[in-house]
Amino acid sequence: MKVVLVNGSPNADGCTFTGLGIIKEQLAKHGVDSEIFQAGNKPIIGCTACRTCKQTGKTGKCVFDNDMVNTVGQAFREADGIILGSPVHYASACGAATSFFDRLFFSLEPEAKKLKFGACIVSCRRAGSTATFDQLIKYFTISQMPVVSSCYWNGIHGYTPEDVYADKEGVRTLTILANNMAYLIKCKNQSNIELPEEPPVVMTNFIR
């Protein structure tokens, strides 16, 4: 059992990392392994729509291979779930995180994501957390991934890592999120129910 944690913050040891660390520690208590990937502290190009990742023989890999997108992608293929983390910049996920997550989810083949568990956490000093939370969960709902929830929206508040621990309600929210993620992974792994069949792909354009 394993969960991939992605820190999309440009601050490698800041509040977002601290929140992911709280989750990692709680997952370990349930026997679930996890790894934090630092993805946001280097220049990250956005998707250029070259579609190399969709071409025969290159399925699932982004053509840009110098910023960990493919490394995280391979870890995601082998994991049971993923948790995305981002700070709030201008009431949305930071630019590096958005570029990274866009390419990660677009490049991966659908089978690598289908029915794996997804969750996200956001870090802000004061406001903008719910808008960012809404943005990030869309990566899961377009990928046939069940969204793991907690007792509140998964936001932590603070300006420093020490502030994060002082946000007792935020810490509790992340702890419950980790508990729920571990529980659902165990339920799935102990089940012998076959995966549902999928209808053929249909693409509908609204402009003729």
Q: What are the pLDDT digits (tens) for 166-198? A: 999 999 999 999 999 999 999 999 998 988 888
What pTM, to 2 d.p., does this model score?
0.94
Note the pLDDT of residue 208. 67
Do 39 and 73 meet the contact criterion of CB atoms below 8 Å apart? Answer: no
Please state the rounded mean pLDDT for residues 72-97. 96
When pLDDT is cut at 50, 70 and 90, the band that residue 67 belongs to is: confident
CATH number belonging to domain 2-189: 3.40.50.360
DSSP per residue, the chain? -EEEEEE--S-TTSHHHHHHHHHHHHHHHTT-EEEEEE-SSS--PPP----GGGSTT-TT--S--SSSHHHHHHHHHTSSEEEEEEEEETTEE-HHHHHHHHHHHHHS-HHHHTT-EEEEEEEESSS-HHHHHHHHHHHHHTTT-PBP--SS-SEEE-SSHHHHHH-HHHHHHHHHHHHHHHHHHHHHHT--PPPPP-PPP----S--
Q: What 8-state DSSP symbol labels residue 86?
A: E
